[in-house]
Structure 1
Amino acid sequence: MSDWRNEVNYLVHESKIKVPYTWSVGDTGSRFLRALRDDKKILANKCPKTGQVFCPPKLNSPYSLEPITEWLELSGTGTVTTFTERSYDSRAALPEQSRIYALITLDGATQALPHLLGEVDFKNVKIGLRVEPVFKETREGHILDIAYFRPTGENKQ
Structure 2
Amino acid sequence: MLDRSWLAQFQPWLEQRALFRFQRQPLARGVAAGMFCGLIPGPLQIPGTLLVCTWLRGNVVAGGIATFYTNPLTTLPLYALAFYLGALVMPGEQTLPAWTSVAPGGEFTVQALGAWVQALGTPLLVGLPTLGLVMALLGYATVQLLWLAPALQRKRRLARSR
Bucket of the pairwise TM-score, normalised by the shorter protein: under 0.3
More helix by percentage = 2
TM-score (norm: length of structure 1)? 0.26
Structure scoring higher RCO (CA < 8 A, sep ≥ 6) equals 2
